[in-house]
Amino acid sequence: MAVSPSIPRSPSTTSSSTVPQKLKEIATQNISTGKGVSHPQIPLQNPDYELAQQLNDDVRHKYIKDRKLGEGTYAVVYLGHLRADSASYVAIKKIKVNAEFKDGLSMDAIREVKYLQELSHPNIIALHDVFTSKDLNLNLVLEYLPGGDLEMLIKDGSIHYGAADVKAWMGMLARSVWYCHENCVLHRDIKPNNLLIASDGEVKLADFGLARSFADPYLNMSHQVITRWYRPPELLYGARQYSGAVDIWSMGMVFAELLLRVPFVAGNTDLDQISKINDAFGTPTEENWPGVTKLPNYVSAEKDRIVPLQGRDFFLRQFPTAGSVGAELLMSMCALDPRKRSTASQILQHNWWFIEPKPTKKEDLPRKPGGVKKMGDDLARRGGELQEGPFHNTVRQLDFTAMK
């Protein structure tokens, strides 16, 4: 930023006082565009600088960064703690900003800050503070969740858990989704590694980088959301107008995965994902899902591969550990037609929660060491990515036409 020496000098200003005046100009000018921090000697001169930066500095000084936990394409996550209390841990997610501000802040960063600032629920990761650091990066101070995530527990064969544990986890997930939908927010990336676990066993929904508010009627949204294995058929068919039902499908997939301990429908490509869903749940037709053939990317199944819509028996057979009531609940989350899928509040009122076994108390849920590292990886990852597999099925691209 160029600094002009031609500051209007009034006769009343003596030459001695123009110097600080000038410095002040520089400092405040810089702050107004965010560059003030590069002049270390100036801030002291200027009350405005203090006012503008003091709050931010106060927040920044509240925390100490300890060590790096994970790094992704989009963020670096540090373990940190409160300066005043070294036992109060936090996770600090530093969002990488392009050094030259070439493209402005990414939509992910904006969305994450936007929603976490307003949402507050025991089953949603808390955003304690936001501050900017010296190198002009955005830092989100997030709740410390050392218990890792559900994916870690599902994958570890040495961990044993039962129906009561699944019920407890699903209960916490269902409440977080209900809260999001009640506040008109779609999460759009529900999957086991976005379900982090606090030290007391509480499950917390994290990563709001793909979240958005319900669109106004008839406005299009992107269908390129939700990690593939958890993506509902309407999005795979390219629906541009959809509802909270997309999150419910993902929830159903998490439920199935908790029961089976492997992803239930894990396609290698979007097309493969559709055909796996067809094979598993039945082929979408105009009869069982009015309007499906009009969706932009609808592909009709080959005649010999048409599978009738699966009923209760199928779910009971596939998921015996859920019990008949549990299988029924799962079935209601996996309806192909999004209009027939249960809503989050219907799910919470389902009979399954009231019958035996009662959900495990959160303190008694199975846990596994090594969760801190996992939290770091999870928080650093960009939404919509799967880590494993030969094909990185990244869905995220900044596509300005599809973003709406």
Partner 1 sequence: MAANYWVSTQRRYWLFSREKLAEAREKLKERDNVAYSQLPLPDQRLLNIYFSQQLSKLGKRMSTRQQALATAQIYVKRFYTKKELRHTNPYLILTTAFYLACKMEECPHHIRFVVGEARSLWPDFITPDISKLGECEFALIAEMNSQLIVHHPYRTLSELQSDLSLTSDEVALAWSVINDHYLTDLPLLYAPHVIAVMAIIIAVVFKPSQTSFHGSAAPSLTAAMRDGSTNIFAALGDKGGNAPRIQKLVSWLAESDVDIRAVVECTQELVSLYEIWEQYNEKHCKELLMRMVKNKNLYK
Residues that bind partner 1 (CB under 8 A): 1-4, 6-8, 10, 12-13, 25, 28-29, 31-35, 47-48, 52, 55-56, 97-98, 100-105, 107, 110, 113-115, 117-120, 130, 132, 136, 138, 183-185, 212-215, 221, 400, 403-404
Note if 207 is an active site residue.
Answer: no
In angstroms, what CA-CA distances link 376 with 91, 93, 135, 288, 308?
Answer: 8, 9, 21, 43, 43
Q: Closer CB to partner 1, residue 37 or residue 253?
A: 37
Structure tokens at 110: 């904006």
Quote the least distance from Cβ 247 to partner 1, whole Å: 14
User: What residue has token string 């008694």?
Assistant: 364
Does 254 belong to an annotated binding site?
Answer: no
Q: Closer CB to partner 1, residue 215 or residue 316?
A: 215
Structure tokens at 112: 């994450």
Does 134 belong to an annotated binding site?
Answer: no
Quote the least distance from Cβ 92 to partner 1, whole Å: 14
Encoded amino acid at 291, one letter = G
Does 75 belong to an annotated binding site?
Answer: yes
Does 164 belong to an annotated binding site?
Answer: no
Quote the least distance from Cβ 55 to partner 1, whole Å: 8
Q: Closer CB to partner 1, residue 219 or residue 262?
A: 219
Quote the least distance from Cβ 95 to partner 1, whole Å: 11
* CA gap 209, 396 in Å, rounded: 10
Query: Are the C-beta atoms of residues 83 and 59 closer than 8 Å to each other?
Result: no
* CA gap 337, 289 in Å, rounded: 5
Q: How many residues does the structure list for the chain? A: 404
Does 185 belong to an annotated binding site?
Answer: no
Q: Closer CB to partner 1, residue 105 or residue 260?
A: 105
Q: Which of 108, 149, 165, 189 is catalytic?
A: 189
* CA gap 321, 111 in Å, rounded: 38
Quote the least distance from Cβ 171 to partner 1, whole Å: 22
Q: Closer CB to partner 1, residue 219 or residue 307?
A: 219
* CA gap 394, 32 in Å, rounded: 37
Using alpha carbons only, give the angle 272, 275, 276 rounded to the nearest 5 degrees: 85
CA count, 13 A, side-chain hemisphere, 233: 30
> Please, which residues have CB within 8 angstroms of residue 58's CB and are 6 or more apart in sequence?
none
Annotated binding site for ATP: 69-77, 93-94
Would you please indicate which residues are annotated as catalytic (active-site) residues? 189
Annotated binding site: 69-77, 93-94
